[in-house]
């Protein structure tokens, strides 16, 4: 399951929470480079970085360079691969045992602040970070007037890879022309519209629709300014139907599709190497196209965001200062340049972004062009992703009429309304969701609370579920991804993105023992 990801604007009254949990700001100590290394103070620092191949080794090299340049301290690093999606969840679950430095997606910022999992930047360091990085990435790292993290990238968006032997350059600006080129060549157009609302929203943002959420003091979503069910939304669905009803449509976002019949894949910078390898000299890349309704063109929108690097609060002020100096370096110009060169990550650092290498990079150029039509991903209700994901499936099934398109939006509106009338019982209940019984992560299987002892609750599915070996699932609360738990320990029944992976086919009840005191749980399959 791709969780990518996320994410989820906590506002105003969060101050009540922050008053209790906001960590001390690390001191902005100036390095003393003339200290002999054998007199330098050593610090053991745990760092969580992306799981991509080679990232741990690159990070260690950067730390070695840091140690060589800073003779007053020595960093002894324990580097672990933890995905940006899982890092925030693990930190929130247990801040004390979490990493000293970790990377996460920007939509997790508010959750981490509320949980006391982020130390703020010192005044001097914050000023440098603000001056050295793009305004958008700094905004992603800021809550109120305070910077809580270091920008790491400015590239979490999507655009279009295409096969130039199938789709001519003259067609790339028109959705209709691209569809025709794919259909004529019996090729596919991969766009993960049914599998992910992150992509589905592109049609609605293209016509000016919004879905902006607000919360109360406890972080509960209280209202939403959502205009999907509108005249503009009807235009969006009409454009959406042009693709999902085409024989060329393929619900996917993987560049591996180029090897199995696709001529177009909507994806992001993470797929550059795969797309380039598959297409070779026919490699093409561009921002998303426009679709036309009643003679007017609407450029497809998108979500955009960035990765951030955070610091865990420290009780030792000297270690806090050392951690901040290291995090500043690992997120700074030299480190971002290295990650761009090795992984094609889009830099937030202004100097790296202005380099000829970055400006001439085709994928980052396409992303920059698409970002002109993108909407920053803020804090979004965890259930919205499932609700909006159904729009594309419903659009494919409904007729291409005004009535059919309105039915799509009516179903969406009904589900949205239900979020704000959900009973406390449903909000607190756990369900199982996953690639189970051919539901494709689209169905929640009910669980009953069968026992309770203090803060520990035991939940069990209301019936035995049919599993194939390799099926994956998570347990989630309140029909939302805001609190979703998977495999207990890395390496133990661990699937993609922390999912629980089934090793043996059969019919099993899913049992979940949950401790509300620390938001942890253990999953098991029982006959």
Q: What is the DSSP string of 269-287?
A: GGGHHHHHHHHGGGEEEE-
54 and 78 part of one domain: yes
CATH of the domain at 269: 3.40.190.10
Q: How many structural domains are present in the chain? A: 3
In a domain, 436, yes or no: yes
265 and 407 part of one domain: yes
326 and 390 part of one domain: no
When pLDDT is averaged across residues 444-452 and rounded to a whole number, the result is 94
Residue 254 in contact with residue 266, Cβ under 8 Å? no
106 and 133 part of one domain: yes
119 and 25 part of one domain: yes
pLDDT at 11: 32
In a domain, 355, yes or no: no
- What's the DSSP call for residue 260? G
Computed over every residue of the chain, the mean pLDDT equals 89
Question: How many Cβ atoms from other residues are within 10 Å of residue 407's Cβ?
Answer: 17
Give 283's strand partners: 163
pLDDT one-digit tens code per residue, 462-512: 999 999 999 999 999 998 887 888 876 544 455 667 789 898 999 999 999
For 107, the token pair is: 């939509």
CA dist 239 and 242 (Å) reads: 5
pLDDT band at 438 (very low <50, low <70, confident <90, very high): confident
pLDDT at 421: 86
Last residue of a domain, one of 365, 398, 419: 419
When pLDDT is averaged across residues 443-470 and rounded to a whole number, the result is 94
CA dist 413 and 519 (Å) reads: 31
117 and 77 part of one domain: yes
For 350, the token pair is: 């202004």
- What's the DSSP call for residue 17? H
In a domain, 28, yes or no: yes
141 and 163 part of one domain: no
In a domain, 366, yes or no: no
pLDDT band at 254 (very low <50, low <70, confident <90, very high): very high
Question: How many Cβ atoms from other residues are within 10 Å of residue 42's Cβ?
Answer: 11
Indicate whether 206 pLDDT > 80: yes
In a domain, 373, yes or no: no
477 and 406 part of one domain: no
- The rounded Cα 30 to chain-centroid distance in angstroms is 35
99 and 171 part of one domain: no
pLDDT band at 153 (very low <50, low <70, confident <90, very high): very high
Give 79's strand partners: 47
Q: Where are the beta strands (DSSP E) in 82-122?
A: 101-105
CA dist 85 and 50 (Å) reads: 10
pLDDT one-digit tens code per residue, 380-424: 888 899 999 999 999 999 999 999 999 999 999 999 998 888 888
54 and 148 part of one domain: yes
In a domain, 363, yes or no: no
In a domain, 437, yes or no: yes
pLDDT at 338: 97
pLDDT one-digit tens code per residue, 73-130: 999 999 999 988 789 888 988 899 999 999 999 888 888 988 899 999 999 999 999 9
CATH of the domain at 507: 2.60.40.3620
pLDDT one-digit tens code per residue, 210-219: 999 886 655 5
In a domain, 354, yes or no: no
Question: How many Cβ atoms from other residues are within 10 Å of residue 30's Cβ?
Answer: 10
104 and 172 part of one domain: no
Q: Which domain range does residue 183 map to?
A: 159-302+378-419
Cα distances (Å, whole numbers) of residue 504 to 271, 447, 459, 475, 525: 32, 21, 21, 19, 10
32 and 142 part of one domain: yes
Q: 494-514 as b/e, with b when 16 or more CB fall inside 10 Å?
A: bbebbbbbbeeeeebbbbbbb
């Amino acid at each position: 399951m791709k969780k990518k990801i996320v994410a989820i604007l906590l506002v105003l009254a969060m101050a009540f929470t922050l008053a209790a949990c906001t960590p001390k700001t690390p001191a902005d100590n100036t390095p003393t480079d003339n200290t002999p290394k054998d007199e330098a103070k050593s610090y053991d620092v745990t760092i969580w970085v992306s799981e991509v191949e080679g990232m741990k080794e690159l990070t260690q090299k950067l730390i070695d360079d840091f140690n060589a340049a800073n003779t007053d301290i020595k960093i002894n690093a324990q580097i672990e691969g933890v995905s940006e999606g899982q890092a925030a969840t693990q930190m929130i679950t247990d801040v004390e045992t979490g990493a000293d430095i970790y990377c996460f997606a920007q939509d997790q910022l508010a959750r981490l602040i509320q949980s006391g999992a982020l130390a703020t930047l010192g005044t001097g360091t914050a000023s440098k970070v603000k001056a050295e990085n793009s305004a958008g990435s700094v905004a992603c790292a800021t809550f109120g007037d305070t910077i809580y993290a270091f920008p790491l990238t400015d590239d979490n968006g999507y655009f279009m890879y295409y096969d130039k032997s199938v789709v001519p350059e003259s067609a790339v600006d028109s959705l209709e022309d691209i569809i025709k080129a794919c259909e004529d060549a019996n090729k596919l157009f991969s766009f993960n519209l049914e599998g992910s609302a992150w992509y589905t929203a592109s049609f609605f943002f293209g016509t000016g629709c919004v879905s902006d959420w607000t919360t109360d003091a406890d972080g509960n979503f209280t209202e939403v300014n959502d205009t999907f069910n509108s005249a503009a939304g009807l235009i969006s669905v009409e454009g959406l139907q042009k693709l999902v009803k085409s024989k060329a449509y393929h619900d996917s976002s993987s560049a591996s599709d180029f090897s199995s019949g696709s001529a177009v894949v909507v994806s992001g910078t993470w797929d550059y190497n795969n797309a380039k390898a598959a297409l070779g000299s026919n490699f093409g890349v561009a921002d998303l196209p426009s679709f036309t309704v009643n003679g007017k063109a609407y450029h497809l929108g998108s979500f955009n965001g960035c990765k951030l690097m955070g610091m865990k609060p420290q009780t030792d002020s000297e270690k806090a200062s050392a951690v901040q100096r290291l995090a500043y370096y690992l997120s700074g110009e030299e480190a971002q340049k290295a990650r761009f060169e090795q992984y094609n990550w889009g830099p937030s650092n202004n100097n790296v972004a202005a380099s000829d290498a970055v400006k001439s990079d085709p994928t980052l150029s396409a992303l920059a062009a698409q970002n002109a039509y993108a909407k920053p991903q803020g804090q979004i209700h965890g259930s919205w992703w499932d609700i909006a994901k159904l729009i594309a499936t419903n659009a494919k099934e409904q007729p291409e009429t005004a009535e059919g398109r309105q039915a799509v939006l009516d179903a969406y509106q009904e589900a949205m309304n239900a979020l704000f009338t959900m009973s406390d019982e449903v909000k607190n209940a756990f369900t199982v969701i996953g690639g189970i019984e051919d539901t494709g992560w689209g169905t929640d299987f009910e669980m009953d609370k069968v026992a309770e002892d203090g803060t520990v609750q035991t939940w069990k599915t209301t019936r035995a579920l049919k599993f194939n070996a390799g099926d994956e699932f998570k347990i989630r609360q309140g029909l939302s991804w805001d609190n979703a738990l998977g495999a207990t320990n890395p390496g133990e029944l661990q699937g993609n993105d922390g999912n629980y992976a089934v090793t043996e086919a059969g019919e099993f009840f899913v049992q979940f023992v949950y401790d509300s005191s620390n938001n942890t749980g253990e999953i098991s399959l029982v006959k």
